[in-house]
Amino acid sequence: MNRREFSSTMVMLGAGVHAATAQGASSDKSAAYYQEPARKLPVKQCDVVVAGGGTAGVVTALASARQGAKTVLIEKKGYPGGTVTEGGTALHSFYNLWKAFPNAKKRQVVKGIAQEIIDRLAKVGATTGHAEMTKGFNYDSMCTAIDTEMYKLVTFEMLVESGVHVCVGTMLVDAIRDGSRIKGVIAESRSGREAIFAGSFVDCTAIGDLAARAGAEYTEPNDYSVANSIGVANVSVEKYHEFLKSSGALKEYSEGMRSGKPGKIVRLHANGRKLPAEFRAAAGKIGMSVVITTVHDDYFMFIKLNCRIPGKPTDRDAVTRTELELRKRQAKAIQVLRKFVPGCEKAFIARTSPTLCIRRGRRIVCDYDITHEDVIGGRHFADDIMVYGFHDSAPRYQIANGGTYGIPYKALRAAKIDNLLVAGMMITSDHRAHMSTRNTVCCMGQGQAAGTAAALCAAKKCAMRDLPYTELRKALETGGVYFES
Ligand SMILES: Cc1cc2nc3c(=O)[nH]c(=O)nc-3n(C[C@H](O)[C@H](O)[C@H](O)COP(=O)(O)OP(=O)(O)OC[C@H]3O[C@@H](n4cnc5c(N)ncnc54)[C@H](O)[C@@H]3O)c2cc1C
């Protein structure tokens, strides 16, 4: 059973939100309406608006500002970072799956700004570095994990240093269309409601708020469980390792930098089938995943609690019920760890995600939709903006010969809107292909291309579709992007 299968078994055992909580709480169906009066809003002008300062958005805004574009980043939370700081375990993946393919060359296939962030984190002891997997390397060849709190600070500082106007605590609430172009967005913060006009726009909201408000075509596949993750402190990584080894359940293992020292355990993954039955049953009831990564002693950085949402991630009331359910599951997870895992007797929750972590919200229709065959066949395109070599369903699905496939520029261009790009989990309709393109490092790579292209288009006052690929490619190569297929 691989990690995915184990987590989906856990989700099935967890059986989603309890039926009783799902009743009678859908949106208010009353027919009453209130007509909002028109309002005169202050207008801010810039070159590029990036909506959403998460995994892709941070890199998008950095890339845009570094091209000299006056860039505004709109982020609803109080910090940048997004799901990379809240949902996952390791950043998948800067490398190809070379360890699973004896003839494949070891290659770092994502570099550029994404690697720069890791370098900055390394300087403050906030990453494991690229730690080679010594067990379970048919899943990934490297484990790159981060200190989630330092990631927020380091990326915030990088954005400010690059001259991005970072607007945290600011919600994108609407878009203003002008024919086939977007003229501006409407944002709300405690400073008020404002219109922000720009030449180019990039939607990095994960859920597709900007694209949807601008009238882009989209679907809502609702094909994943949602999750919330907790950071658990006062635990022994070494004892958890011993426990997994003695149960015959150790499946993945890697050593890297931890609390400033090299050669320490930084990733452990259990084979669910081999876990003691009682532990497995208790974890299964709450959709608890038992993959851990860490950059600190005595700390499990991510314990995920998966759950089926009784609705869609865009349904407020369904989200509210799931947020409550997941918080209950988090509390139960601590009880499970304390009871079954040696070294966790005094464990406690040190971090929770501020909001539900989704694996997919809206899927925005773009000029090209990357297929499963493109991914596993290692297809490259004449307009590649990056290459990528990881699949979250490995070893079941993996990229041919441990190589790479390309993400084409056309896969980031929202269909039928001239000046909108999307980056992150919003691209790719096929669930199997999305299991590759949605991963953090792929989202970051897409961000570098989207930010660069948005800035170039704003400067040339041209539509995203009219940007000559050679110009984009040159700028990306100058920005350190790797292209070898
Ligand atoms: C539980 C879970 C586990 C995962 N595990 C892994 C893993 O181990 N490794 C891996 O590589 N990937 C993993 N992934 C996938 C990966 O983390 C995500 O797909 C990726 O981080 C998504 O990046 P993004 O930029 O699209 O979205 P996000 O990083 O979520 O960024 C979206 C940002 O937009 C902001 N925003 C949203 N709406 C608005 C609005 N209207 N106005 C202003 N701001 C807004 C949000 O606050 C957020 O900061 C996991 C995902 C989940 C949910």
CB of residue 424 inside a 6 A radius of ligand 1: yes
CA angle 93, 97, 101 (to 5 degrees): 175
Task: Find the domain containing 306 and state its range.
Answer: 3-18+225-352
Distance from the alpha carbon of residue 83 to the mean position of ligand 1, in angstroms: 3
Q: Tell which of 306, 328, 352 closes a domain.
A: 352
154 and 212 in a single domain? The answer is yes
Structure tokens at 270: 């259990």
Question: For the chain, how many structural domains are there in total?
Answer: 2
455 and 402 in a single domain? The answer is yes
62 and 202 in a single domain? The answer is yes
Distance from the alpha carbon of residue 54 to the mean position of ligand 1, in angstroms: 6
Q: Tell which of 332, 352, 372 closes a domain.
A: 352
Q: Which residue's CA lies nearest to atom 31 of ligand 1?
A: 54
CB of residue 208 inside a 6 A radius of ligand 1: no
CB of residue 70 inside a 6 A radius of ligand 1: no
Q: Tell which of 304, 323, 352 closes a domain.
A: 352
62 and 187 in a single domain? The answer is yes
Q: Are 287 and 13 spatial neighbours (Cβ–Cβ below 8 Å)?
A: yes
Distance from the alpha carbon of residue 56 to the mean position of ligand 1, in angstroms: 8
Q: Are 405 and 468 spatial neighbours (Cβ–Cβ below 8 Å)?
A: no
Task: Give pLDDT, residue 29.
Answer: 60
CB of residue 439 inside a 6 A radius of ligand 1: yes
Question: Does residue 485 sit within a domain?
Answer: no
Pairing of strands 48-51, 71-74: parallel
Distance from the alpha carbon of residue 357 to the mean position of ligand 1, in angstroms: 7
Q: Which residue among 84, 86, 363 is best mutated to probe the pocket of ligand 1, counting the most ligand atoms within 8 A of its Cβ? A: 84
CB of residue 272 inside a 6 A radius of ligand 1: no
325 and 427 in a single domain? The answer is no
Question: Does residue 453 sit within a domain?
Answer: yes
91 and 205 in a single domain? The answer is yes
Q: How far is 99 from 101, CA to CA, in rounded Å?
A: 5
196 and 53 in a single domain? The answer is yes
Q: Which residue among 168, 440, 441, 446 is best mutated to probe the pocket of ligand 1, counting the most ligand atoms within 8 A of its Cβ? A: 440
Question: Does residue 33 sit within a domain?
Answer: no
- CA Rg, the chain, in Å? 22
Distance from the alpha carbon of residue 421 to the mean position of ligand 1, in angstroms: 17
Let me know how long the chain is: 485
Q: Are 290 and 269 spatial neighbours (Cβ–Cβ below 8 Å)?
A: yes
Q: How far is 141 from 91, CA to CA, in rounded Å?
A: 12
Buried b (16+ CB within 10 A) or exposed e, 199-235: bbbbbbbbbbbbbbbbebebebbbebbbbbbbbbbeb
Q: Are 118 and 396 spatial neighbours (Cβ–Cβ below 8 Å)?
A: no
345 and 365 in a single domain? The answer is no
CB of residue 129 inside a 6 A radius of ligand 1: no
171 and 244 in a single domain? The answer is no
466 and 400 in a single domain? The answer is yes
The 8 Å CB, 24+ separation contacts for 324-331 are 324/21, 325/17, 325/18, 325/21, 326/226, 326/227, 326/228, 326/356, 327/228, 327/352, 329/14, 329/228, 329/286, 329/287, 329/288, 329/305, 330/228, 330/230, 330/305
Q: Which phi and psi (to 5°) does residue 206 adopt?
A: 70, -40
Q: Are 389 and 96 spatial neighbours (Cβ–Cβ below 8 Å)?
A: yes
Task: Give pLDDT, residue 72.
Answer: 99
**Can you give the CATH number for the domain in which 53 is found?**
3.50.50.60
Task: Give pLDDT, residue 290.
Answer: 81
161 and 270 in a single domain? The answer is no
Task: Give me the DSSP letters along 260-317.
Answer: TEEEEEEEEEE-GGGS-HHHHHHHHHTTB---EE-SSTTEEEEEEEEE--SS-TT-HH
Structure tokens at 179: 């024919």
Q: Flag whether the pTM goes above 0.85.
A: yes
Q: Which residue's CA lies nearest to atom 12 of ligand 1?
A: 439
Counting atoms of ligand 1 from 1, which one is nearest the CA of 357? 53
Nearest to 364 by CA among 445, 433, 421: 421
Name residues of the chain where pLDDT drops below 70: 1-30
- What digits encode the pLDDT tens for the residues 364-400? 999 999 999 999 999 999 999 999 999 999 999 999 9
Counting atoms of ligand 1 from 1, which one is nearest the CA of 56? 25
Counting atoms of ligand 1 from 1, which one is nearest the CA of 91? 11
CB of residue 87 inside a 6 A radius of ligand 1: yes
Q: Are 188 and 170 spatial neighbours (Cβ–Cβ below 8 Å)?
A: yes
CB of residue 446 inside a 6 A radius of ligand 1: no
Q: Distance of CA 457 to CAs 52, 181, 349, Å? A: 20, 13, 46
Q: Which residue's CA lies nearest to atom 5 of ligand 1?
A: 88
Question: Does residue 397 sit within a domain?
Answer: yes
CB of residue 448 inside a 6 A radius of ligand 1: no
Q: Which residue among 55, 72, 329 is best mutated to probe the pocket of ligand 1, counting the most ligand atoms within 8 A of its Cβ? A: 55
Evaluated on CA atoms 388, 392, 397, 402, the torsion sign reads positive
Q: What is the DSSP letter of 204?
A: -
Question: Does residue 24 sit within a domain?
Answer: no
Other C-beta atoms within 10 Å of 79: how many? Answer: 18
Q: Which residue's CA lies nearest to atom 27 of ligand 1?
A: 206
CB of residue 357 inside a 6 A radius of ligand 1: yes
243 and 211 in a single domain? The answer is no
Question: Does residue 26 sit within a domain?
Answer: no
Question: Does residue 136 sit within a domain?
Answer: no
CB of residue 90 inside a 6 A radius of ligand 1: yes
Q: Are 237 and 225 spatial neighbours (Cβ–Cβ below 8 Å)?
A: no
Question: Does residue 141 sit within a domain?
Answer: no
